[in-house]
């Protein structure tokens, strides 16, 4: 299954117990991770998805404070601080364009 097919399936199954696991791109230098990511971003934008550019996912998630059981998806965990901060960041970024 390609990355785009996984994303389509994730969209269909969002907020269900059957939602697919996250995708992790890894490999040696020069194997095409960035090229795949660029194609996925292009596809997502063409299909109306909002794409976040996260420079340091590790820093973003590790500064998220407490982790608690999800109220929406049983068996999953959330970081409420990160969930509040992400839309606020998006809104502050979009404000000059609105």
Per-residue three-class SS string for 19-59: CCCCCCCCCCCCCCHHHHHHHHHHHHHHCCCCCCCCCCHHH
pLDDT in tens, 20-64: 777 778 899 999 998 988 998 898 889 888 787 777 767 766 666
61, 43, 12, 84 alpha-carbon torsion, rounded to 10°: 30
Please report the pLDDT score of residue 58 as a whole number: 72
CA distance 45 to 22: 19
The mean pLDDT of the chain is 78
Contact present, 41 and 53 (Cβ < 8 Å): no
């Amino acid at each position: 299954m390609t990355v785009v097919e996984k994303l389509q399936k994730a969209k269909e199954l969002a907020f269900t117990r059957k939602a697919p696991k996250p995708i992790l791109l890894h490999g040696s230098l020069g194997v095409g991770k960035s090229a795949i990511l660029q194609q996925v971003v292009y596809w997502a934008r063409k299909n109306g998805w909002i794409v976040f550019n996260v420079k340091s996912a590790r820093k973003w998630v590790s500064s998220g404070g407490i982790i608690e059981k999800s109220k929406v998806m049983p068996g999953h965990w959330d970081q409420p601080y990160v969930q509040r901060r992400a839309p606020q960041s998006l809104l502050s970024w979009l404000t000059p364009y609105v």
